[in-house]
Chain A
Amino acid sequence: MKKQVELVQGTLDMLILKAVSLGGLHGYGVLLRLQQLTGGQLQIQQGSLYPALYRLERQGLIASEWGESDNKRKAKFYTLTAAGRKQLKAEAESWNRFSLVVASVLGAVPGGS
């Protein structure tokens, strides 16, 4: 059970890194961008973004800075760091490998080799 949660958590971290890599964003912007990129298909508990953002910042993968949002309010903007870029690349590669392997297993047909 714990493993499952961690997998989801790891995936969320990766998606956040990807969203932030496309340009600096505040936490709410991360949500909007993820919804936009997934066509609203991904169910994200909005609050869960923030522990993930804080964790990623703690790990030095993203950096934060206070700025002004579109609606002229004070907001914390996140940007990807060099370490974050590297981590995103590594995670995306291993995710792609993983999904290929799983897809090839699920795609097996009876009698085929």
Chain B
Amino acid sequence: MSFWRRKKFERDMEVELGFHIDSYVDGLVRFGIDRGEAERRARLEFGALEATKDECRQASTIARQIRQSLRNERLVMALSTAFGVLALLLACIGLYGVLAYAVTRRTGEIGIRMALGATGTEMIWLILREALALAASGVAIGTPAVWLLAHLARALLFGAGLFDLPAFACALLVLLVFAATAGIVPARRAGRLDPMSALRCE
């Protein structure tokens, strides 16, 4: 416990126990007992004051010490989470940009395909496939990277193996879902293109 927290704890405890004893004394006095006698009885019935304080200190410090010793780890955890979310967001924006550009670039091609009888759904898949291919190449690069970085992270993470399958599967799923979400907007645009205006835009 830091110096100031300990000080505050002691002060609070002093006030709390003082309030108890004073209230008890006041009660006895109201009952018609002489104040000196009431104070003597209050002390007796409260029990050893210093021992009680010690027990209170013990009862409350252990949890605080644990919380404090984990403060750095919590900070690292919060920062990693924040950076992870940021990275995911940037990847989504990037993926969206690339695919939106691809749709614009291939507007003529999509127009021809649709004029020749391809459906809107097929065009959605055309673009979405590209999104998933990009995501898959990311996974292909990321998997060995995870394996390499896990060596470094092992020092920080208690009980984490070199290849934590559930965590990895979760991350994979989240990434694919976000890739699909980022891809679905331009893909739908491709699916809704009017073939005639698409052909004319070349």
Select the stretch in B58-66, B75-83, B168-176 that faces chain A: B58-66
How many of chain A's residues have a CB under 8 angstroms from any CB in B? Answer: 21
A-B contact count (CB 8 A): 68
Known: A27-B16, A47-B49, A74-B15. A54 touches B59 (CB 8 A): yes
Q: Does A55 contact B (CB under 8 A)?
A: yes
Q: Does B109 contact A (CB under 8 A)?
A: no
How many angstroms from the CA of A74 to the CA of B20 in the assembled complex? 11
Chain A 15-52 interface mask (CB, 8 Å, partner B; 1/0): 00000000000111001000000000000011110111
How many angstroms from the CA of A92 to the CA of B163 in the assembled complex? 45
Known: A27-B20, A46-B24, A74-B19. A51 touches B47 (CB 8 A): no
Residues 52-90 of B contacting A (Cβ, < 8 Å)? 52, 55-56, 58-60, 62-63
Is chain A's interface secondary structure helix, strand, loop, or mixed overall? helix
Nearest Cβ on chain B to A47's Cβ, whole angstroms: 4
Partner of B19, one of A26, A47, A54, A55: A26
Q: Does A12 contact B (CB under 8 A)?
A: no
How many angstroms from the CA of A31 to the CA of B47 in the assembled complex? 14
Known: A74-B19, A75-B19. A51 touches B59 (CB 8 A): yes
Contact check, A51 vs B58: say whether CB atoms are below 8 A apart: yes
Q: Does A71 contact B (CB under 8 A)?
A: yes
Residues 9-23 of B contacting A (Cβ, < 8 Å)? 12-13, 15-17, 19-20, 22-23
Known: A28-B23, A45-B47. A50 touches B17 (CB 8 A): yes
Residues 85-113 of A contacting B (Cβ, < 8 Å)? none
Q: Within 8 Å CB of B60, what residues of A?
A: 54-55, 57-58
Q: Which residue of B lies closest to A56 (CB)?
A: B59
Q: Within 8 Å CB of A3, what residues of B?
A: none
Partner of B45, one of A28, A46, A52, A69: A46
How many angstroms from the CA of A30 to the CA of B131 in the assembled complex? 64
Contact check, A51 vs B52: say whether CB atoms are below 8 A apart: yes
Q: A residues near B, CB below 8 A?
A: 26-28, 31, 45-48, 50-52, 54-55, 57-58, 69, 71, 73-76
Could you list some 24 contacts between A and B, CB below 8 A? A26-B16, A28-B20, A28-B23, A31-B20, A46-B20, A46-B24, A46-B46, A47-B47, A47-B51, A47-B52, A50-B16, A52-B59, A54-B56, A55-B59, A58-B59, A58-B60, A58-B62, A69-B19, A69-B23, A73-B19, A74-B19, A75-B19, A76-B15, A76-B19
Q: B residues near A, CB below 8 A?
A: 12-13, 15-17, 19-20, 22-24, 26, 45-49, 51-52, 55-56, 58-60, 62-63
